[in-house]
Structures are given as structure tokens and as C-alpha cells.
Amino acid sequence: MTTDTRPQHLAARGRQSILAGLVVNILLAATKTVAGLLGHSYALVADGIESAADVFSSVIVWSGLRIAAAPRDASHPYGHGKAEPLAAMVVALLLLGAAVWIAVQSLREIRDPHQAPALFTLPVLVGVVIIKELMFRYIVTVGQDIESLAVKTDAWHHRSDALTSAAAFVGISIALLGGPGYESADDWAALLASAVIAYNGYRLFMPALHEVMDAAPQSHVEAEIRRSAAQVLQVAAIEKCFVRKMGFEYYVDIHVEVDGSLTVREGHEIAHQVKEAIRRAHPRVADVLVHIEPEGIEHEQRGA
């Protein structure tokens, strides 16, 4: 787990991982496309084209992270964090688009039988699967560490690439072992892989959409914030607590109950203590809005 929780540092870590994946995608896109054309494997060509599309999606994620790390200004008092889930949404849609394109092209190739793939395409695919799986594990670890949907979405592009390559390996193996009549096996493999890619695209799109719509984060985040606020002296109870994620930071609205006989100044001081306690325990909380209420107000309102 990263110790530096500043948005600029988290975004820089994310951009570094994306850049590494971008370089790998450029090299693999060229390798797979050339090998697929020379080896008569549409599944491998489709795999190469997907890697080329991943270069574009990586650029989008890299740009989204750079914008999300920009500091707050007069026009964006809550910062630019929404650029990060927006980038994730765009990349997830690209993943869905790639799945549709691969499926359509696979069906065309299945209708029009072609020459069986060449044997040398198999070791190419083995190398691709290994490299892509390693890239997935590296980038998804960074994404989980910095809690970035965009980075995790980009990581799944590498996993989908590994899946299509694995499916192509199986398809080509069947075509070579089966002989005449099995030439389209790699096309069926590409079609199957497109369904897996589409599922992953949908699965990655929905969390990004929820974050853009200010859905509550995981329940443990709110529970930890409530616990920190409740430890402040003179806080009798926590009535409400709303948390929303803005890029790499969280914003909190919390209602705390205190002794109703306290002065406004004393209540104001308690509010500051609550804010500091939350931010001290959770460095990624950018700001806390504390509403002070007299103790028992919730029960009084229910009774009324």
C-alpha cells in the first residue's frame, strides 16, 4: 500500500504504470498483426488490432489521470477528480466496441473459410499471454493501491488481450490438429473471446458510472470515518454520514450530536476537532463538512 496519499503522487504512479503498458502494447500490436497476416490467423490479427486500440485507450487514461491530479480552482472547487472515472467510462466503452468489432469480423471469417493458420503463430501467442498477464497483474495492483478505476480498467484491457490470445492459441491448435474442415477454429475462438471482453467492458463501465453519479464508496470507508468522529470528546452520537469519492480524494458530510446546552462557540470547536480527527486518520479525505446538532434531536423528531 502506498504511503504518499497526495493526489499528484497517486496520479503519477498511475501514469507511470499506464506508460509502461502503452509501450508494451505498441510492440505487441505490431508483432501480433504481422504474425497473424503471415500465419493466416484472423484471431491473431484481431488480437493485434485490439492491442493497437489499447494504445489509444491508454492515452485516454493517462490524460484523465493528469487532469484528475490538477488542484482545485475557482471553477472547480471540488477539484478535477471526476476526470478519472470519466476516463474509465470511455475506456470501458472502447472495450465493448472492440468486442463487437471482433465478433462481427469473426462471423465473417467463419462464413468464408480460409487457409489454416501456420504453426509458428502458436509460440507467438504463448509469449503474448505471458507478457499480457504480467502487465495485468502489475497495473491492476497499482490501480488497487491508488484506488483508481481508470487504471484498473486499463489493466483489464491487458487481461482481455491475454484472454483473446489464449483463445486464439486453443483455436489455432484445434485447426492444426483437426486438419481440413477445422480451419475456422481460431475464428470461433475469437468469437468466444469477444463475449468475455464484452462482459469485462460492462463490468468495468458500471463502477465508473456509479462514481460519476456520486454513489457511496464501500461501506467500510463510511464506518471508519464514523469511528474516527465518534472518538472526539463531547461527541454524543453520529446521526448522518455521507461520503463521496472525487478522483483520488474523499469528501465527507457528517452530522454529529452534542450536548444541547453548549454554546455556539463550543459547538464550533467540536466541529473543528471532528474534522481534524477524520482527516488525521484518513489522509485521503480532502474536506469535511460538519453539522452540529443537539443530542437526542433525532428521537425528538421521530416523536413529533
Determine the number of helices (DSSP H) and then strands (DSSP E) in the chain: 9, 3
Q: Nearest 5 degrees, angle CA 91-CA 95-CA 100?
A: 145
Residue where a domain terminates, one of 188, 212, 236:
212
Residues 161-215 have pLDDT tens digits of 888 788 778 888 887 888 777 777 777 877 887 887 788 788 888 888 988 888 8
Residue at 2 is within a domain: no
Do 205 and 105 share a structural domain? Answer: yes
CATH number at residue 114: 1.20.1510.10
- In the chain, the number of structural domains is 2
Residues 83-135 have pLDDT tens digits of 888 988 988 888 888 888 888 888 887 887 666 777 888 898 899 899 989 99
Do 289 and 153 share a structural domain? Answer: no
Do 235 and 188 share a structural domain? Answer: no
Domain limits for position 228: 219-303
Q: In whole angstroms, what is the distance from residue 183 CA to residue 139 CA?
A: 36
This prediction's pTM: 0.73
Do 202 and 113 share a structural domain? Answer: yes
Residue at 197 is within a domain: yes
Within 10 angstroms of residue 70's Cβ, the number of other Cβ atoms is 16
Do 174 and 48 share a structural domain? Answer: yes
Residue where a domain terminates, one of 212, 236, 266:
212
Do 110 and 243 share a structural domain? Answer: no
